[in-house]
Amino acid sequence: GQNIDQPTEMTATEGAIVQINCTYQTSGFNGLFWYQQHAGEAPTFLSYNVLDGLEEKGRFSSFLSRSKGYSYLLLKELQMKDSASYLCADNNAGNMLTFGGGTRLMVKP
């Protein structure tokens, strides 16, 4: 089975750094995705980790520890437009995504 947990909501200040955690329990793990979703829109791809470690892409970085079933998305230099839901999803052995409930991030001035 698959169980993905992430915080429901987070608040941070413009210009700050925020870390969104995700834990998963899955059979046949085949990678961990992070997507950003603005209200009323479809998700957009942010990152994909299949090996342990940190992947950096500009202001966004994603970390994976397979032994701990743990990932986080790190957002630096927060901007107001970063207010969105962030979805953690694991890719199982069948190459299907299972999404967590999403973390609604609110960036305040």
Asked if residue 99 binds other proteins (CB under 8 A), the reply is: yes
Asked if residue 101 binds other proteins (CB under 8 A), the reply is: yes
Q: CA dist 48 to 9, 10, 30, 64, 67, Å?
A: 22, 22, 10, 9, 17
Asked if residue 74 binds other proteins (CB under 8 A), the reply is: no
Q: CA dist 98 to 72, 84, 102, Å?
A: 16, 19, 11
- Count CB neighbours of 87 within 10 A: 23
Asked if residue 69 binds other proteins (CB under 8 A), the reply is: no
Asked if residue 91 binds other proteins (CB under 8 A), the reply is: yes
Decide whether 20 or 87 has the Cβ nearer to other proteins: 87
* Residues at the site binding other proteins, with contacts judged by CB under 8 A: 30-31, 33, 35, 40-45, 48, 50, 87, 91, 95-102
